[in-house]
Structure 1
Amino acid sequence: MKTIELYKAQIFLSNRCNLACAYCYFKEQKQVSQKLNFNQIKDFIIWFINFPGEYKEVELIGGEPLLEFELAKRTIEFLRHDPVVSPRKVFISDITTNGTIITNEIICFLKKENLKLNFSLDGDLKSNLNRKFKDNTDSFSVVWKNIFFYKENYTEPTIFMTISPNNAKGFYKNIRFLIDSGFQNISIAPEMLSTQWPKDTINVFLKEYRKFLKYYLLLKKPAGISIPFSKQPKMDDRITSFFCPDHLGDQAVLHFDGNIYGCPLAPCFKDQFKQFCFLGENPRTIDCKKFQPMRDYNLLKELGLKTNYKHTFINQLARMMCLCFNKDGNLIPIDDLKNFINLILQMHQEARNIGI
């Protein structure tokens, strides 16, 4: 039997978040507060680094991970400095945050450990109506202030910009807003999770996207702006990372419910697929035989769709189960998935048409 190797682990520190984002996948999972303790994290990390695989990467997420700063700090120090782990030189991913909680203490720690933050921001004030606080007040002014505080006191931030059907019409205005505000590292990606992309909305967005691509060619220093689904080096990898850290069967996820899964969104799935992705209640009970069936699974084939696309990302989509379920844990309608695939192909073609 072929040896399974794992290179990536995700750790959901807790389900706590101070925002109520419109496109959040874990809304139903946040009704009861759940948080890992350090011993759970430590046991999982030790299991992960001892599992076959030369390269090891760990990502800390939430909820909002910086709400659990002390737990994140202790975990990072364990990964970086504990003799049980440090000889392996585990790579720690930069932390993605909603940007509402940035302090001097956090920045000093990030500097010390040479870690950076990725900020989720969709554009200007109006575009960020998807990202409100739980009392329904807007988060933009707080996030905007914190991003510049981070930039002035540490380094250039990376902005993760999510394009959803309800802000697609303003995409060009929003990307220009971020560029004109001086941001150099911007990753853009269309929202998929539980989202419908009607054909008329796709056409509206593509019109905006063409305007952006023409502007992109005029930029003197465009390298920091990622063009999804284009010919840029490793861009398929970067856009895949924006959507899903790894494919089904390539990672292990310690969830805030304490269980371990093969997909970060597995607890939201209906029973059949949730059990398919369930690995164990703790590292000692993990069923390693489940990794290979996950790797062999082809969702596009299961749905009766084409499986031999020339575009790398769409073929990878076959093992990204989290992109194909709605917030109720059910598979999205096939027509919605087809529309999303068509959106990707058209974005790819638009970039190729102008030589990007």
Structure 2
Amino acid sequence: MKKKTIILTLTESCNLDCVYCYQHHKTSKRMSVDTAINAIKKHINQSRGYDQVEVDLFGGEPFLEFETIKEIGNWAKKQEFPIPVVFFVDTNGTLVHGDIQDWLLCNEHIRVGLSLDGTPTTHNSNRSNSYDLIDIEFFVNNYPAQPVRATIYQNSLSTLSDDIIHLHSLGFKVTASFALGVDWSIDQVKTKFMSELKKLIDYYICNPQIDPCSLFKTGYLRLYEDRKMAKWCGFYSDMVAINVDGAEFPCQSFQSNTTGSSPNIPLPDFSKVEDWSDPECADCLIANLCPTCYGINHLRTGNVTTRDKSMCDIRKIMALANTNFTARLLENGRLSLSGSELALTVQAIKDIQKSYSEI
């Protein structure tokens, strides 16, 4: 399915101070309802050829602007859009109580995703002691198909398996991603990560009813795709981010609440980018399996394609763990693949295990 994503930063404010937040230049600025609706209308009208449009209501913490969300949602219900449109709010959950819950239950066209990092100890350490401020049952009961977003941070890496298993025990699917702008190259960090992945593999093998977290969702078929044009998100081509003032960016990581009010790095002409690969990764086997954030790359290096090399061994460890997990699933007859998919998967397993057996 071809999807266009419209990201609206409703506010730069947040009621938490998460340890890994990459938005270091927050202000009290907010987006007007008119700016939001005009942006939505403009980009939906420019979305011919897409199967769906997703409108992400973003922050800061978007529910600080609940009245704006309500007006957008109430307006959207009255529209007859030319293609399917999905509205999504990414929240820390602390404000989703009372009137907000009541309104969401009456507006099922608004989907909500929760950020939750694991056990109370881990979550509170990362996210301003906010675990008990979240009505977890509300999210489990009303958005069962929506994974929670767990951010992996260095200080809590040694409890990664406990954290993800805790989230599963609450009834959640889990999307886990690494904190950006952190040095992940420390040997002790890599050793801990490898150990935690092994624990998670054992957990998923023993609990086949649990949908594995995103750390074990490696798409092996990407391994052999053309690297030059392989991208990790809709950045620039299928995505637009609108800041509180209505200015447009290729993604939210280019906005001033991340880059600062006067970024020194000029934006390139992305329409002329013919190669999205990093030249330093040209000989890396798993380059196509290695996620990257073009906005953070640009902020740190001045080049959207220059990746954070401190993540290299972490990504290799992930790839190796995925091959071990996939091999065990195949051995247990729990993975059904077509002939061509099976052949490519087995080849990828062999190639990765041969290349990274010494990690």
Whether these two folds match at TM > 0.5 is yes
Contact 1:229 1:313 in 2 (8 A): no
Unaligned runs of 5+ in 1: 235-243, 277-289
**Amino acid aligned to 1:322:** G
Q: CA shift at 1:211, angstroms?
A: 0.8
The alignment partner of 2:267 has SS state of helix
**Amino acid aligned to 1:110:** L
Indicate yes or no: 2:233 matched with 1:215: no
C-alpha separation in 2, matches of 1:70 and 1:166: 36
Candidates 11, 16, 22, aligned match of 1:14: 11
Q: How does 1:81-230 map to 2 (within 5 A)?
A: 81-83=78-80, 86-92=81-87, 94-114=88-108, 115-133=110-128, 138-143=129-134, 146-151=135-140, 154-156=142-144, 158-180=147-169, 182-191=170-179, 193-200=180-187, 201-223=189-211, 225-230=213-218
C-alpha separation in 2, matches of 1:147 and 1:245: 29
- Per-residue deviation, residues 79-131 of structure 1 (Å, max 9, x unmatched): 33235xx3433222x32211101123323332333233221111112212444
Q: CA shift at 1:205, angstroms?
A: 1.1
Distance 1:330 1:184, change over 3 A: closer
State the partner residue of 1:57.
Answer: 54
The alignment partner of 1:96 has SS state of strand
- Per-residue deviation, residues 178-199 of structure 1 (Å, max 9, x unmatched): 233x3231222222x2111023
The alignment partner of 1:40 has SS state of helix
Contact 1:188 1:227 in 2 (8 A): yes
The alignment partner of 1:102 has SS state of coil
Q: CA shift at 1:224, angstroms?
A: 6.2
C-alpha separation in 2, matches of 1:102 and 1:342: 38
C-alpha separation in 2, matches of 1:308 and 1:232: 14
Contact 2:3 2:54 in 1 (8 A): no
C-alpha separation in 2, matches of 1:313 and 1:264: 23
- Percent of pairs with identical residues: 21
Unaligned runs of 5+ in 2: 223-231, 330-359
Contact 1:186 1:226 in 2 (8 A): yes
**Amino acid aligned to 1:298:** W
Q: CA shift at 1:257, angstroms?
A: 4.0
C-alpha separation in 2, matches of 1:194 and 1:308: 22
C-alpha separation in 2, matches of 1:313 and 1:228: 12
C-alpha separation in 2, matches of 1:218 and 1:232: 23
**Amino acid aligned to 1:275:** L
RMSD over aligned Cα atoms: 3.1
Contact 1:100 1:139 in 2 (8 A): yes
Q: CA shift at 1:78, angstroms?
A: 2.6
State the partner residue of 1:337.
Answer: 308
C-alpha separation in 2, matches of 1:291 and 1:337: 20
C-alpha separation in 1, matches of 2:101 and 2:283: 45
**Amino acid aligned to 1:140:** Y
Runs (4+) of structure 1 exceeding 4 A deviation are 231-234, 307-311, 332-336
Contact 1:14 1:35 in 2 (8 A): yes
C-alpha separation in 2, matches of 1:103 and 1:186: 22
Contact 1:12 1:60 in 2 (8 A): yes
State the partner residue of 2:274.
Answer: 296
Q: How does 1:222-301 map to 2 (within 5 A)?
A: 222-223=210-211, 225-231=213-219, 246-267=234-255, 268-269=258-259, 271=263, 273-276=265-268, 290-293=269-272, 296=274, 298=276, 300-301=278-279
C-alpha separation in 1, matches of 2:218 and 2:83: 34
C-alpha separation in 2, matches of 1:263 and 1:335: 17
Contact 2:91 2:114 in 1 (8 A): yes
Contact 2:151 2:176 in 1 (8 A): yes
Distance 1:272 1:249, change over 3 A: farther
Contact 1:194 1:332 in 2 (8 A): no
State the partner residue of 2:297.
Answer: 324
Contact 1:299 1:321 in 2 (8 A): no
**Amino acid aligned to 1:197:** W
C-alpha separation in 2, matches of 1:131 and 1:227: 20
C-alpha separation in 2, matches of 1:27 and 1:217: 40
- Per-residue deviation, residues 309-333 of structure 1 (Å, max 9, x unmatched): 445342x63xx312425xxx43299
Distance 1:198 1:224, change over 3 A: closer
Q: CA shift at 1:203, angstroms?
A: 1.9
Q: CA shift at 1:8, angstroms?
A: 1.5
TM-score (norm 1): 0.76
Distance 1:66 1:171, change over 3 A: same
C-alpha separation in 1, matches of 2:219 and 2:47: 33
C-alpha separation in 2, matches of 1:149 and 1:6: 28
C-alpha separation in 2, matches of 1:103 and 1:232: 41
State the partner residue of 1:66.
Answer: 63
Q: CA shift at 1:204, angstroms?
A: 1.1
Q: Is the radius of gyration larger for structure 1 or structure 2?
A: 2
Distance 1:131 1:179, change over 3 A: same
The alignment partner of 1:45 has SS state of helix
C-alpha separation in 1, matches of 2:295 and 2:185: 20
Q: CA shift at 1:35, angstroms?
A: 0.6
- Per-residue deviation, residues 110-156 of structure 1 (Å, max 9, x unmatched): 233323322111111221244444xxxx212212xx1124445x343
